């Protein structure tokens, strides 16, 4: 996981960012601070990979705080003031989020972060943790039959039961190993090893018939 810290003097901003971070299994929130001094102490007491950092704060600004660190982590600036964007990117910020931050904009930021620095995982990892109702549930890849997009959620259908988690299909596709799972429809992603039958417009996973989208047909045919 990518270990994250939030630094913002606005309680509502801290709450919103915490809520957004908790929706992404690749992120782990290790702490939040309302000022740069508290952040400085927290940063030096535990490893931090990424900071979501407000710029305009009482006392020490976010720009001054990140500049003071000898070995700064990755940083995403969060602020209501667009005029600070140039200063932020001069400090090699990964992204610059303008408040109010939407889930869609935050997800784009996380996708960018994962491309730059994917979370450290063991090569033999054959499972993924999903956040379900505030808890992390471990789902072995061999147990995951398929996933279905349901509005803003993903229905994970496994051999032992179904789970509903808040994320997009695009994010799930990046989260799971491409050699084990295949996108076959705008709303479906399936376990490659568990495909029993493929025809022109659908495939079978066990006894469940999954539609194959027109734009994904050639990709599906290649695995046959």
Residue spans per domain, the chain:
2-116, 127-222
Mean pLDDT lowest among 68-77, 78-87, 211-220? 78-87
Q: pLDDT value at position 34? A: 95
pLDDT in tens, 135-175: 889 999 999 999 999 988 999 999 999 999 998 888 898 88
Counting residues of the chain whose pLDDT is more than 90, the rounded percentage is 57
Confidence of residue 219 (pLDDT cuts 50, 70, 90): confident
In this prediction, residues 27-54 reach a mean pLDDT of 90
Instruction: Give exposure, 90-123, as e/b (b: 16+ Cβ within 10 Å).
Output: eeebbbbbebebeeeebbebbeebbeeeeeeeee
The mean pLDDT value of the chain amounts to: 89
Write down the pTM of the prediction.
0.57
pLDDT band at 122 (very low <50, low <70, confident <90, very high): very low
- To which CATH superfamily is domain 127-222 assigned? LytTr DNA-binding domain (2.40.50.1020)
> Judging by DSSP bridges, how do beta strands 50-54 and 74-79 pair with one another?
parallel
The CATH number assigned to the domain with range 2-116 reads 3.40.50.2300
- pLDDT > 80? residue 41: yes
**Is pLDDT at 83 greater than 80 in this prediction?**
no
What is the average per-residue pLDDT within 194-210?
93
């Amino acid at each position: 996981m990518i270990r994250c810290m939030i630094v913002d003097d606005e309680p509502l901003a801290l709450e919103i960012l915490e809520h957004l971070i908790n929706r992404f299994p690749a992120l782990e929130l290790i702490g939040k601070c309302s000022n740069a001094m508290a952040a400085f102490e927290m940063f030096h007491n535990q490893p931090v990979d990424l900071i979501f950092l407000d710029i305009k704060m009482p006392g020490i600004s976010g720009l001054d705080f990140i500049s003071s660190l000898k070995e700064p982590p990755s940083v995403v600036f969060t602020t209501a003031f667009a005029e600070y964007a140039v200063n932020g990117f001069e400090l090699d910020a990964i992204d610059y989020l303008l408040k109010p931050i939407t889930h869609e904009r935050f997800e784009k930021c996380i996708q960018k972060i994962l491309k730059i620095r994917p979370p450290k995982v063991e090569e033999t990892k054959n499972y993924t943790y999903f956040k379900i109702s505030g808890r992390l549930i471990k789902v072995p890849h061999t147990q995951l039959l398929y996933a279905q997009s349901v509005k803003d959620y993903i229905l994970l259908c496994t051999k032992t039961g179904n789970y509903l988690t808040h994320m997009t299909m695009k994010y799930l596709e990046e989260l799971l190993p491409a050699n084990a799972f295949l996108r076959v429809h705008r709303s479906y992603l399936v376990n490659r090893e568990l495909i029993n039958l493929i025809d022109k417009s659908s495939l079978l996973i066990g006894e469940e018939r999954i539609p194959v989208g027109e734009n994904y047909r050639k990709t599906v045919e290649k695995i046959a």
